[in-house]
Amino acid sequence: MQKKSFNMPDSTMTPPKTKVEMVKIGDSTLMRNTFEPGWKWSEHVKSTAGTDTCQVHHVLCGVSGQLKAVMKDGTEIEVGPGDVVDIPPGHDAWVVGDEPMVGIDVGGAIYAK
Protein backbone atom coordinates (compact mmCIF):
# COMPACT_ATOMS: atom_id res chain seq x y z
CA MET A 1 0.00 0.00 0.00
CA GLN A 2 1.04 3.56 -0.60
CA LYS A 3 -0.37 6.97 0.29
CA LYS A 4 0.43 10.39 -1.15
CA SER A 5 -1.23 13.78 -1.13
CA PHE A 6 -1.83 16.55 -3.64
CA ASN A 7 -0.93 18.82 -0.72
CA MET A 8 2.66 17.60 -1.18
CA PRO A 9 2.89 16.79 -4.92
CA ASP A 10 5.90 15.14 -6.53
CA SER A 11 6.08 18.00 -9.01
CA THR A 12 4.23 21.18 -9.90
CA MET A 13 3.95 23.15 -13.14
CA THR A 14 2.70 26.74 -13.16
CA PRO A 15 2.17 28.10 -16.68
CA PRO A 16 0.10 31.32 -16.83
CA LYS A 17 -3.30 30.96 -15.09
CA THR A 18 -2.49 27.28 -14.47
CA LYS A 19 -1.32 25.06 -11.64
CA VAL A 20 -0.71 21.36 -12.31
CA GLU A 21 0.21 19.24 -9.30
CA MET A 22 1.40 15.72 -10.12
CA VAL A 23 1.45 12.73 -7.82
CA LYS A 24 3.06 9.46 -8.88
CA ILE A 25 1.66 6.49 -7.02
CA GLY A 26 2.31 2.88 -8.00
CA ASP A 27 2.27 2.73 -11.80
CA SER A 28 -0.04 5.74 -12.09
CA THR A 29 0.38 9.48 -12.24
CA LEU A 30 -2.53 11.71 -11.30
CA MET A 31 -2.75 15.45 -11.80
CA ARG A 32 -4.75 18.04 -9.93
CA ASN A 33 -5.27 20.83 -12.44
CA THR A 34 -6.32 24.31 -11.38
CA PHE A 35 -7.24 26.68 -14.20
CA GLU A 36 -7.94 30.30 -13.25
CA PRO A 37 -10.82 32.31 -14.73
CA GLY A 38 -9.82 33.48 -18.20
CA TRP A 39 -7.65 30.40 -18.84
CA LYS A 40 -7.87 29.01 -22.37
CA TRP A 41 -5.67 26.25 -23.81
CA SER A 42 -5.25 28.00 -27.17
CA GLU A 43 -4.10 31.20 -25.44
CA HIS A 44 -2.02 29.87 -22.54
CA VAL A 45 -0.61 26.51 -23.69
CA LYS A 46 -0.72 26.36 -27.50
CA SER A 47 2.57 28.20 -28.06
CA THR A 48 4.38 25.89 -25.63
CA ALA A 49 2.76 22.73 -27.03
CA GLY A 50 3.48 23.70 -30.63
CA THR A 51 0.20 22.19 -31.90
CA ASP A 52 -3.07 23.77 -33.07
CA THR A 53 -5.10 21.77 -30.53
CA CYS A 54 -4.36 19.90 -27.32
CA GLN A 55 -3.02 16.47 -28.25
CA VAL A 56 -3.33 14.99 -24.77
CA HIS A 57 -6.04 12.44 -23.95
CA HIS A 58 -7.68 13.48 -20.68
CA VAL A 59 -9.85 11.45 -18.32
CA LEU A 60 -10.94 14.15 -15.92
CA CYS A 61 -13.12 14.39 -12.82
CA GLY A 62 -14.41 17.87 -12.06
CA VAL A 63 -13.99 19.05 -8.46
CA SER A 64 -15.08 22.68 -8.73
CA GLY A 65 -15.74 25.32 -11.36
CA GLN A 66 -16.63 24.72 -15.01
CA LEU A 67 -14.55 23.80 -18.05
CA LYS A 68 -15.70 23.62 -21.66
CA ALA A 69 -13.86 21.54 -24.26
CA VAL A 70 -14.50 21.68 -27.99
CA MET A 71 -13.18 19.20 -30.54
CA LYS A 72 -12.00 20.29 -34.00
CA ASP A 73 -15.27 18.92 -35.45
CA GLY A 74 -17.29 21.21 -33.13
CA THR A 75 -18.35 18.55 -30.61
CA GLU A 76 -18.62 20.19 -27.16
CA ILE A 77 -18.61 19.01 -23.57
CA GLU A 78 -18.77 20.85 -20.25
CA VAL A 79 -17.21 19.60 -17.04
CA GLY A 80 -18.45 20.60 -13.60
CA PRO A 81 -18.18 19.28 -10.05
CA GLY A 82 -18.70 15.52 -9.93
CA ASP A 83 -18.60 15.07 -13.72
CA VAL A 84 -16.23 12.48 -15.17
CA VAL A 85 -15.31 13.01 -18.82
CA ASP A 86 -13.14 11.46 -21.49
CA ILE A 87 -11.67 14.12 -23.79
CA PRO A 88 -9.65 12.75 -26.72
CA PRO A 89 -6.75 14.57 -28.38
CA GLY A 90 -7.65 17.36 -30.79
CA HIS A 91 -9.49 19.84 -28.55
CA ASP A 92 -9.37 23.34 -27.16
CA ALA A 93 -10.65 24.04 -23.64
CA TRP A 94 -11.37 27.02 -21.41
CA VAL A 95 -12.74 28.00 -18.02
CA VAL A 96 -16.40 29.03 -18.01
CA GLY A 97 -17.36 31.66 -15.45
CA ASP A 98 -15.55 33.47 -12.68
CA GLU A 99 -14.55 30.48 -10.52
CA PRO A 100 -11.31 28.51 -10.96
CA MET A 101 -11.81 25.07 -12.47
CA VAL A 102 -10.22 22.28 -10.44
CA GLY A 103 -10.12 18.75 -11.80
CA ILE A 104 -8.33 15.48 -11.19
CA ASP A 105 -6.85 14.17 -14.44
CA VAL A 106 -5.92 10.50 -14.65
CA GLY A 107 -5.58 10.43 -18.44
CA GLY A 108 -3.34 13.42 -19.08
CA ALA A 109 -0.41 12.17 -17.06
CA ILE A 110 1.70 12.08 -20.21
CA TYR A 111 3.16 15.38 -18.90
CA ALA A 112 4.74 13.55 -16.01
CA LYS A 113 6.59 10.95 -18.05
pLDDT single digits (tens) 94-107: 999 999 999 999 97
pTM above 0.95, yes or no: no
Give the CATH number of the domain where residue 63 resides: 2.60.120.10
Pairing verdict, β 11-13 and 84-87: unpaired
Instruction: Determine, yes or no, domain membership for 97.
Output: yes
Q: Kindly report the number of other CB atoms within 10 A of residue 90's CB atom.
A: 17
**Domain region containing 66:** 11-112
Helices (H), the chain: 41-44, 46-49
Phi then psi for 46, rounded to 5 degrees? -50, -45
Instruction: Determine, yes or no, domain membership for 37.
Output: yes
Instruction: Determine, yes or no, domain membership for 1.
Output: no
Q: Kindly report the number of other CB atoms within 10 A of residue 3's CB atom.
A: 5
Instruction: Count structural domains, the chain.
Output: 1
**Tens digits of residue pLDDT in 42-92:** 999 888 889 999 999 999 999 999 999 999 999 999 999 999 999 999 999
What is residue 37's predicted lDDT score, i.e. its pLDDT? 98
Instruction: Determine, yes or no, domain membership for 5.
Output: no
Task: For residues 58 and 5, give the distance between their C-alpha atoms in angstroms, rounded to a whole number.
Answer: 21
Among candidate residues 4, 17, 1, the one with its CA nearest the CA of residue 112: 4
Instruction: Determine, yes or no, domain membership for 4.
Output: no
Instruction: Determine, yes or no, domain membership for 62.
Output: yes
Instruction: Determine, yes or no, domain membership for 39.
Output: yes
Instruction: Determine, yes or no, domain membership for 6.
Output: no
